[in-house]
Amino acid sequence: MTAYVITAGSCRDYPSSTSVAGVPPTPRLLTTSLVVLVAFLAGCRGEESPPGADAPSPTTPPPTTVSVDATSTELARRPHILVLTATGTAKIDKFTYVLDGNTTEGRVTRLPWRQSVDVPADGRRHEWSLTVEYRQGSVELAGILNGQVLTDSRGYSTGTGTASISGSVLG
């Protein structure tokens, strides 16, 4: 039997009684060592990695600065929604609502009554009002901007009456 000691850079053969197949012990050691080394390195890889796993990972580009024109963002803003409502038991003879001087009138209407008006989102102040002429009963008016009640008013009459609400909003 042959015993081998492997040290850094050398392989020493300690004599044994015979060699195998006429190959001296030192070359046999080198061949065996090479086979073991290849098997070891192949085993270190572990499981096969998915295709492209060895590819370098993409780098994240640096953040970019975007310049936005204030005029274009102003135009892109959606208008505010002003909802005018009238509820109650009265009969409506006439209603009038005004936004920035533009008047809309209507005649005999049953309650409940509701009107949505677009208010430009332009950063300017917009004046609005609602006036209702009614008879025999109660009426409640409300002005609601983007879901928030701005103002409301109630009235009651056994004859005829007028109820109004008004305000201003920043567009």
Answer left, alpha or beta for residue 31, where phi above 0 means left and psi between -120 and 50 means alpha.
alpha
103 shares its domain with 142: yes
Given a cut of 80, whether residue 12 has pLDDT beyond it is no
Return the bridge partners of 7, or none. Answer: 10
User: Containing H/E element for 25?
Assistant: helix 25-44
Percent of the chain with pLDDT over 90: 50
Domain membership flag for residue 16: yes
Q: Of 9-23, 100-114, 145-159, which range is least confident?
A: 9-23
For residue range 22-80, list pLDDT tens digits in order: 555 555 555 565 555 555 555 555 555 555 555 555 565 555 444 545 554 554 578 99
* Residue span of the structural domain in which 117 resides: 74-170
Task: Report which of 129, 72, 126 is spatially closest to residue 97, judged by C-alpha positions.
Answer: 129
Task: Look at 1 and 141; give whichever has higher pLDDT.
Answer: 141
Domain membership flag for residue 103: yes
Domain membership flag for residue 151: yes
Domain membership flag for residue 64: no
DSSP 69-120: -HHHHHHHSPPEEEEEEEEESSEEEEEEEEETTEEEEEEEEPSSEEEEEEE-
Rounded CA-CA distance 151/44 in Å is 77
- Report phi then psi at 38, rounded to 5: -65, -45
Domain membership flag for residue 139: yes
Given a cut of 50, whether residue 11 has pLDDT beyond it is no
Task: Report which of 114, 84, 77, 111 is spatially closest to residue 99, judged by C-alpha positions.
Answer: 84
For residue range 125-150, list pLDDT tens digits in order: 999 999 999 999 999 999 999 999 99
109 shares its domain with 36: no
Domain membership flag for residue 117: yes
What pTM was estimated for this model as a whole? 0.56
Count the Cβ atoms, other than its own, within 10 Å of residue 82. Answer: 22
Domain count along the chain: 2
86 shares its domain with 37: no
**Interval 101-108 mean pLDDT:** 92
pLDDT for the residue 32: 60
Task: Report which of 68, 72, 74 is spatially closest to residue 120, judged by C-alpha positions.
Answer: 74
Domain membership flag for residue 109: yes
Count the Cβ atoms, other than its own, within 10 Å of residue 25. Answer: 18
Domain membership flag for residue 56: no
12 shares its domain with 85: no
80 shares its domain with 37: no
